[in-house]
Copies of this chain bind each other. A is one copy, B any other.
Amino acid sequence: MVESKRVVLIGAGNVATHLGVALQKAGHEVAQVYSRTEASASTLAGRLNVPYTTDLSQLCEEADLYIVSVKDDVLSSLLPIVVKGKEKALFVHTAGSMPMNVWEGIAPRHGVLYPMQTFSKQREMDFSTVSFFVEANEKADLEMLKELASSLGAKVYEANSEQRMSLHVAAVFACNFANHMYALSASLLNKYGMPFESMLPLIDETARKVHQLEPKEAQTGPAVRRDANVMNKHLELLSEEPQLRELYEIISKNIQTI
């Protein structure tokens, strides 16, 4: 049985929302929600049925953990105000691309709780399908963050700030860019009057395959077969789509050289 934690959420975006819901489900207490705007703060607070504030100087001071989940470009400027008067608590941010040392000289106990997932407001998030990467400046706090993430059902890994940045970039390729490949596929199918739905089994199997094989071993298609005949036909079909054609050529070449 994991000890229940008293948590304050600073931020009310996708990550904070999904985290808040999951923390409550796992038996933790969300003590308060902060957002810069009344609308966001009250929406999330209403969903969690907890108090909220839009004033950082009014943050609840008796929490175990403060989770800052705001846009990267405002993060650093917020931190001193967030920590003030609560120097005994543990402070973490959730940003993949921000180093842990943004907390240095501000919060004695600090760390990072990075949930690597693609969060959408439209979809429920099952945290048993999320990898968390944790980092902390004190060993006891690292263990606490691991336990907290595990209590949500998540898989937990330790990662230092450089590793977390590499994860963030790797996630752009495996998630954002893979999704863009789906989007390009959808636009082509749409042009030729075929339903995107017909592509879903292939998309699913492509994802399933890399549970079993290294992605490099799982590679199929004309580029890895060096089937110039088929590739030329494809480029011909793409002759009116200069952007798709360019990507087709560059990615195919890349497949052949790594």
Would A201 and B237 be within 8 Å (CB), given that A163-B193, A179-B210, A185-B173 are in contact?
Answer: no
Q: What is the 8 Å Cβ interface bit string for chain A, positions 243-255, against chain B (1 contact, 0 not)?
A: 1101110110011
Give the number of chain A interface residues (Cβ < 8 Å): 93
Closest beta carbon of chain B to A4's beta carbon, Å: 25
Docked complex: A177-234 residues within 8 A CB-CB of B = 177-189, 191-196, 198-207, 209-216, 218-224, 227, 229-230, 233-234
Identical copies in the complex: 2
**Interface presence of A176 (CB below 8 A):** yes
- Is the beta-carbon distance between A203 and B192 smaller than 8 angstroms? no
- Is the beta-carbon distance between B250 and A250 smaller than 8 angstroms? yes
Which residues does chain B contribute within 8 Å of A167, judged by CB atoms?
Answer: 189, 192, 194, 198-199
* Complex alpha-carbon distance, A72 and B181, angstroms: 25
**Interface presence of A102 (CB below 8 A):** no
**Interface presence of A170 (CB below 8 A):** yes
- Is the beta-carbon distance between A166 and B186 smaller than 8 angstroms? no
**Interface presence of A2 (CB below 8 A):** no
* Complex alpha-carbon distance, A141 and B162, angstroms: 60
**Interface presence of A118 (CB below 8 A):** yes
Q: A residues engaging B (CB < 8 A)?
A: 72-73, 97, 116-120, 122-123, 129-131, 133, 155, 157, 159, 162-163, 165-189, 191-196, 198-207, 209-216, 218-224, 227, 229-230, 233-234, 237-238, 243-244, 246-248, 250-251, 254-255, 257-258
Instruction: Give 17 A-B contacts (CB < 8 Å), ordered by A residue.
Output: A97-B234, A116-B198, A117-B205, A118-B205, A118-B206, A130-B201, A155-B201, A166-B188, A168-B230, A168-B234, A170-B184, A172-B223, A173-B248, A178-B203, A183-B258, A204-B207, A246-B250
Question: Which 10 pairs show the lowest CB-CB distances between chains A and B?
Answer: A176-B221, A166-B192, A174-B185, A183-B215, A182-B215, A207-B207, A170-B185, A173-B185, A178-B178, A170-B188
